[in-house]
Chains A and B, each alone.
Chain A
Amino acid sequence: AQKITQTQPGMFVQEKEAVTLDCTYDTSDQSYGLFWYKQPSSGEMIFLIYQGSYDEQNATEGRYSLNFQKARKSANLVISASQLGDSAMYFCAMRGRPYNQGGKLIFGQGTELSVKP
């Protein structure tokens, strides 16, 4: 069975500093996808970044980067130069392949990030 573990229920970071949110996963699939989503208090899930299991380079999207360590089964999110608007819940998610898994994401419990001015 697939599982996502986020061990940090809450984190604080000073504005303009970098922060790393931890995510470890467990799967027996050879091919899978890893995602990070941001959920502000409004409730909408906002896609941040994606990493495929066969991608050799770590994914980056603006201030977001994914530190992918396949052997350790970890997919940590790094946010550089934190902004006040980054305060939100962050979820790590995994989708297994092959394609018969379809559109099913497994989510971790989330990490609440608070950015201090």
Chain B
Amino acid sequence: KAGVTQTPRYLIKTRGQQVTLSCSPISGHRSVSWYQQTPGQGLQFLFEYFSETQRNKGNFPGRFSGRQFSNSRSEMNVSTLELGDSALYLCASSFWGTETQYFGPGTRLLVL
């Protein structure tokens, strides 16, 4: 079974731009969670989608948004990028969201 895939793997943007990251979960998994990892703040939960509905949301500004499609693939969008948005963005999938989550390789975003 293929693992979680994330695209793109690396991204460079400038302040003020917006970015869209994509995550394809393991086949059959319906829950997708997103996390931001930075050296200063560590791993922080962004949001979780289950069956196309946002089920949980972390403490991030409204510039961070996401969605999930009927095939469980998920995208997250960050608008008006700031330097502090530079991070590794990880997505994870599980069947219900309540058991082990399996992570993708991440997208490294650099904001200049």
6 pairs of A and B residues whose beta carbons are closest in the complex: A103-B97, A45-B103, A107-B43, A103-B33, A103-B48, A102-B97
Q: Find the A residue at minimum CB distance from B31.
A: A103
17 additional A-B residue pairs with CB within 8 Å, beyond A45-B92, A47-B102 = A33-B99, A35-B101, A43-B88, A43-B105, A43-B106, A45-B90, A45-B103, A50-B100, A102-B48, A103-B31, A104-B56, A105-B35, A105-B43, A105-B45, A105-B101, A107-B43, A108-B42
A106 interface hit (Cβ, 8 Å)? yes
Question: How distant is A108 from chain B, measured CB to nearest CB, in Å?
Answer: 8
| Chain B contact patch, size range | 20 to 34
Question: How distant is A9 from chain B, measured CB to nearest CB, in Å?
Answer: 12
Q: Whole-angstrom distance between the alpha carbons of A107 and B36 in the complex? A: 11
Interface residues in A, total, Cβ within 8 A: 26
Q: Which residues of A contact B90 (CB under 8 A)?
A: 43, 45
Q: Which of A60-102 contact B (CB under 8 A)?
A: 91, 93, 95, 97, 99-102
Q: Which residues of A contact B42 (CB under 8 A)?
A: 107-110
Q: Which residues of A contact B45 (CB under 8 A)?
A: 104-106
Q: Find the A residue at minimum CB distance from B42.
A: A109
Q: Find the B residue at minimum CB distance from A6.
A: B42
Q: Whole-angstrom distance between the alpha carbons of A108 and B106 in the complex? A: 19
Q: Which residues of A contact B108 (CB under 8 A)?
A: 43
Question: How distant is B95 from chain A, measured CB to nearest CB, in Å?
Answer: 10
Q: Which residues of A contact B70 (CB under 8 A)?
A: none
Q: Whole-angstrom distance between the alpha carbons of A90 and B55 in the complex? A: 27
